[in-house]
C-alpha cells in the first residue's frame, strides 16, 4: 500500500505519519542503507560496551 492509497478516514489511521513514495524508496536505497547500517552498527557496539562496563562485581 502506498500513501496515495491510504484511507486516513479510518479513525485509527488519522494520527499516523506515513511515508510518501520518495521516503519509501529511501528505505530500499542500497547506498543510503549501507550508511544507515554502519551507524546502527556503531550504536550497537556502544550498547555492547555499556553492557560490559555496567557488569560489576558484587
Partner 1 sequence: MAQIVIMGAGVAGHTTATFLKKWLGSKHEVVVVTPNSHWNWIPSNIWVGVGRMTKEQVVFPLAPIYTKAGIDFRQAKALSIHPEGDRESEKPYINILYTGQNKENQEEKLHYDYLVNATGPKLQFGATEGLGIDNQLGEHTVSVCTADHALHANVKMQKMFEKARAGEKQKVIIGTSHGTCTCQGAAFEYILNVEHEANRAGVRDNIEFKWISNEPELGDFGMGGMHLGNMGYVMGAKLLGESLFAERGIQWILNAHVSNVESKKLQYEQVDGNMGEEEFDFAMLIPAFRGVGLQAYDKNENDITDKLFMPNGFMRVDGDYTQKPYAEWKASDWPSTYQSPLYKNIFAAGIAFAPPHPISEPQQSPNGTVITPAPPRTGMPAGTIGKAVASSIKNMILEGDKAKLHAISMAEMGAICVASAGVGFKEGQAISFTVYPIVKDFEKYPGTGRDTSRTYGEIGVSGHWIKLALHYLFIYKAKLKFGWTLIPE
Query: Under the criterion CB under 8 A, does residue 54 sit at the interface with partner 1?
Result: yes
Query: Under the criterion CB under 8 A, does residue 22 sit at the interface with partner 1?
Result: no
Query: Under the criterion CB under 8 A, does residue 43 sit at the interface with partner 1?
Result: yes
Query: Under the criterion CB under 8 A, does residue 33 sit at the interface with partner 1?
Result: yes
43 φ/ψ angles, rounded to the nearest 5 degrees: -60, -40
CB 8 within 8 A of CB 14: yes
Q: Enumerate the H helices of 13-55 as residue ranges.
A: 21-26, 30-54
- Give residues in contact with partner 1 (CB under 8 A): 1, 3, 6-7, 10, 12-13, 15-19, 26-28, 30, 32-34, 36-37, 40-41, 43-44, 46-48, 50-51, 54-58
Amino acid at each position: 500500500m502506498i500513501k496515495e492509497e491510504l484511507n486516513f478516514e479510518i479513525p485509527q489511521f488519522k494520527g499516523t505519519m506515513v511515508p510518501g513514495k520518495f521516503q519509501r524508496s529511501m528505505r530500499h536505497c542500497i547506498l543510503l542503507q549501507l550508511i544507515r547500517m554502519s551507524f546502527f552498527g556503531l550504536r550497537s557496539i556502544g550498547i555492547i560496551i555499556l553492557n560490559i562496563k555496567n557488569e560489576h562485581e558484587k
